[in-house]
Amino acid sequence: MLQYIINGLQSGSWYSLLAVSIVIVMKASDVPNFAVANMGLVGAFLAYSFVSAHLPFGVAVVLGLLGAALFGVIIDRAVIQRLGDKGHFPLLLMTIGISLSLAAALELIWGTNSLSLNAPWSNKTVHLAGQIINWDGIVTIATGLVIAIAITWFFHTTAGVRMRAVAENRSAARLVGVRISRVSGLAWGIGTAVAALAMILQTESSVLSYTAGDALLVPAFVAATAAGFTSPVGAYVAGLVIGVLENLTGGYISTALQSVVALVVVVLILLLRPSGFTRTALARREV
């Protein structure tokens, strides 16, 4: 069981980081970003290119994350803010269009072959409680936890408080001098960087391809839904729970049912608590 739980925490960390990215963008711009995985892949492919150019892995990852953050800001300024007054549906369709366009662009630039993004700890193992555990999983779980803590801290900084103010009441935030466009750009930059980190961790554990984010998108949105699209911590925890449930289901019942777990979870959420289970979501609903 320990092996299933660790594997579940690893895959859950990928879901969690993407879910946190979704929540960050929702809090600032009120846009459900269906392009989150493919936008994150931009950073992963950039990191791969830097590694291929013989840069140290850590440097390549940092440059990939910075490139992803810049890309997120560009998408926000060039597309999202221009459609900000058109309503939710056009913005939702736009993120789907961005996702499809990015998939085609990634395929065109880096090809259809699966690539390897090898980290210094790839293929290394450690013995834990009689189980052989890959270092990939340990690094992924630890990184996800650090990012969750960092994002929680960020929302208590001045920039984070402004983002929370925009999430609660955009009109009131604008009246007290908060620049909505700047907050939105910051959210898209941070959110895309977090998504890129998720995709880097996922692809260095498996393979890097333009379709790598497809299987992660639904569980990530389910985790964000469980958090009411308002709580990064709630989204992080929900992602871990989904990952563990998937692996336990695959291990003890059938691997064919693993992909069904996220759908069952989202149905239960929509039936039992449509606004999400986190305290932040409930508080916002009562306002």
Q: Do the Cβ atoms of 17 and 199 come closer than 8 Å?
A: no
- The conformation of residue 125, written as its DSSP 8-state character, comes to E
Q: State yes or no: pLDDT of 280 exceeds 60.
A: no
The SS3 of residue 156 is coil
In the chain, how long is the greatest CA-to-CA distance?
Answer: 60
Tokens of 71: 């890309």
- pLDDT for 282: 43
If you average pLDDT over every residue of the chain, what do you get? 86
Q: State yes or no: pLDDT of 66 exceeds 90.
A: yes
- pLDDT for 268: 81
Q: State yes or no: pLDDT of 37 exceeds 60.
A: yes
- The conformation of residue 208, written as its DSSP 8-state character, comes to B
Q: State yes or no: pLDDT of 52 exceeds 80.
A: yes
278 in a domain, yes or no? no
202 in a domain, yes or no? yes
| Confidence class for position 275, pLDDT limits 50, 70, 90 | low
Length of the chain, please? 287
What amino acid occupies position 148? A
277 in a domain, yes or no? no
Alpha carbon distance 67, 64 (integer Å): 5
230 in a domain, yes or no? no
- Show Cβ contacts of residue 263 under 8 Å, excluding neighbours closer than 6 positions: 218, 222
For residue range 148-160, list pLDDT tens digits in order.
889 888 888 888 8
Alpha carbon distance 197, 201 (integer Å): 6
197 in a domain, yes or no? yes
End-to-end CA distance of the chain: 43
| Confidence class for position 285, pLDDT limits 50, 70, 90 | very low
272 in a domain, yes or no? no
Q: State yes or no: pLDDT of 287 exceeds 60.
A: no
Q: State yes or no: pLDDT of 35 exceeds 90.
A: yes
- Show Cβ contacts of residue 146 under 8 Å, excluding neighbours closer than 6 positions: none
Give the predicted TM-score (pTM) of the model: 0.89
222 in a domain, yes or no? no
Q: What average pLDDT does this structure show over 135-142?
A: 88
- pLDDT for 152: 86
- pLDDT for 7: 87
What letters, b where the CB count within 10 A reaches 16 and e where it falls short, cover 83-96? ebeeeeeebeebbe
238 in a domain, yes or no? no
Tokens of 34: 């269906």
- Number of structural domains found in the chain: 1
Q: Do the Cβ atoms of 208 and 253 come closer than 8 Å?
A: no
Q: Which helix (H) or strand (E) holds 45?
A: helix 36-52
Q: Do the Cβ atoms of 26 and 32 come closer than 8 Å?
A: yes
Tokens of 58: 């850590």
Q: Do the Cβ atoms of 66 and 196 come closer than 8 Å?
A: no
- Give the domain range for residue 29: 2-113+134-213
Q: Do the Cβ atoms of 16 and 244 come closer than 8 Å?
A: no
- pLDDT for 278: 55
What letters, b where the CB count within 10 A reaches 16 and e where it falls short, cover 36-56? bbbbbbbbbbbbbbbbeeeee
For residue range 172-230, list pLDDT tens digits in order.
777 777 787 888 899 999 999 999 999 999 998 888 999 999 989 999 999 998 888 88
